[in-house]
Structure 1
């Protein structure tokens, strides 16, 4: 058997890289903020992201293979090609389920990256077996190199994208993921030889490889664009009209700086700060009537709504238009905004220390005065410190008796 020389169409190689980047951005963006959603929403988003990522991996591979130039005619078996696409979607789905339905640790990131790394290669070699009129030959060293590089690159990509779920990490993770899929394909090809197969009659494709590649690229971009438009809010969403009206009825605090205070967690969007309801008599009357029956705070878990006693909550922290409740043992997701929580729980044990935080002083274990602000220390689940802004410093010190 004579080994065939091969080359690649540069335009199709570049197009395959763009497909991988687009698919990576779509899939990683679709899964942003899922920890704050109910189970059904998470399942739907994971399914869409699996199609985007897995389909993008397959599309990148297929477009790159259409760019393969051999001195003989060749084409692909449709059933085997479809099977390779389904394998890619399946393994990505498994990895995303692990990342979004289990506690995210370094181990889960490694496991998810390894699953995707092996899945990318499984898709690649299954797709290569669908070649007709020629055959791919592999070497053990070539396969070993492809496995190691695929697992390592995908673990790195998922570690970047999921290490901290900020827009910056998603963009950097997208670039790394797209490069990883692209590099793994050509690393595997570099360890592959091609030989012609003798057949009784040659059957050529009914459509040219270039036209087929354009169709795959365009369909991939249309699919990803549809998912992006229907399933993602990548930028901060506007505040609801009801919340804006409520904020308009509350007078700004004297001495409050216009410059926003930074949140401790990178990428967290915080609610605009509002004064306690006592600043307006009409608001005071309204919130007092509401809080008579609110001795518990609702939180979402596993698609169900539960309640926690107000006195068991140490800190309420703004997370976009929602909040997290911190108790001694748990971090709970609450659908209230920080403004709504303050209105509903006034009068009550909570005081505002920062535009992003309400605290229960009975849980404070220490106070640290900084230059023009301060820090309250806690011993609760997933939280040790809460910032105290300059405008709140005196009120917090008075409550703490210091």
Structure 2
């Protein structure tokens, strides 16, 4: 597959695809934890860096290939290949960044992304122009598309599992494998044959030399590297989440001085656990009555009595007040710890509901759904393990031990 290829450029092409994937998936992860006003900008940035990673990897791989002397690149097919790439990447990321995508949506996004990568490749390949004719093995074409779809699915699943740390790096590596694996598999099935005797190829349209393409690729490599370094800058909202996590629900230790009298022998203070936000602060009397939510003009607070449901969204949550969802800087675990357990119950690993606001419960598949009241009623999934508890809290059945 790599016979005749420059090994250094091959390694560079894979590294470019991985860096582009890490930057793009990192921006997509932030989409799931930002106010709606920022979604479009982050989605555009994620699609841009992923498309640049795919496209640049492809043409670095082309520069690594042993092409005949005098080969040039037609400008129009080259630009069209990038536009195809940017379009399918943007649509795929939009599908997986909205809500909690089901498996069917992830599969369709992976198919679209894989087919888009393959389309970009073959459109770009037919942008090659020179004194030769190009043919492709049908079996290798099919195999390259299958590899692209399978690896794209693996990258999206790894990305959705957790939007940060090792999982984000794994999704970027899977993305790099998707692009480079598809490219070099397709290149292995490509054959350049001399034209028939007496026939000469005429270049039609604006063309660029390999040297010009090298300059463009070098510039895009710099853009990808800059984007990767910027993606490593911590998200400022993480500080808000960490500050919220340091609320008076943490378990601390305070000194308890035993009572003494004039004749008592002094003793050392005993340490006892107490729910404190820091040493020396008084214990919390009750769960927080209000939840912070982010708005365009700053942080607002809503009364917990108005909360219908809380949904996990990356490192943050979305709080529904019966009218709309708004972002809360707390994690789902922090929200569960702050809310009154007598009124709220965690019905799913990603959902908490207010039992007094439940107006409907219905079995659906292996689990169930509940509907919450309000001007804009909405439904929340209930996991199979939580059905009995929810019914018991609603007075429909006894709670199982």
TM-score where L is the length of structure 2: 0.65
1:181 Cα offset (Å):
0.6
Contact 1:30–1:232, Cα closer than 8 Å, also in 2: no
Q: Matched residue of 2:134: which SS?
A: strand
- How far apart in 2 are the matches of 1:106 and 1:67? 37
Residue 311 of structure 1 corresponds to which residue in structure 2? 305
Residue 31 of structure 1 corresponds to which residue in structure 2? 28
1:273 Cα offset (Å):
6.7
Residue 158 of structure 1 corresponds to which residue in structure 2? 156
Q: Matched residue of 2:155: which SS?
A: helix
Contact 1:116–1:154, Cα closer than 8 Å, also in 2: yes
- How far apart in 1 are the matches of 2:163 and 2:325? 18
Residue 116 of structure 1 corresponds to which residue in structure 2? 113
1:324 Cα offset (Å):
4.9
Q: Matched residue of 1:137: which SS?
A: strand
Unaligned ranges ≥5, structure 2: 255-270, 347-351, 356-369, 371-379, 387-401
1:2-401 counterparts in 2 under 5 A? Answer: 7-101=4-98, 103-133=100-130, 134-197=132-195, 198-199=199-200, 208-209=210-211, 212-213=213-214, 215-228=215-228, 230=230, 233-234=233-234, 239=239, 254=254, 274=277, 279=282, 299=293, 310-313=304-307, 324-325=318-319, 333-335=326-328, 357-363=337-343, 381=380
1:192 Cα offset (Å):
1.4
Q: Matched residue of 1:31: which SS?
A: helix
Contact 2:56–2:221, Cα closer than 8 Å, also in 1: no
Give CA-to-partner distance per residue, 1:258-294, whole Å, 9 cap, x none.
xxxxxxxxxxxxxx972699839xx99xxxxxx9xx8
Contact 1:48–1:227, Cα closer than 8 Å, also in 2: no
- How far apart in 2 are the matches of 1:87 and 1:10? 28
* Compared CA separation, residues 356 and 86, structure 1 to 2 (3 A): same
CA RMSD of aligned residues (A): 4.8
Q: Matched residue of 2:133: which SS?
A: strand
TM-score where L is the length of structure 1: 0.65
Give CA-to-partner distance per residue, 1:97-116, whole Å, 9 cap, x none.
11113541211211111111
Aligned length: 328
Q: Matched residue of 2:24: which SS?
A: helix
Unaligned ranges ≥5, structure 1: 258-271, 285-290, 339-352, 367-375, 387-402
- How far apart in 2 are the matches of 1:68 and 1:164? 37
Q: Matched residue of 1:124: which SS?
A: helix
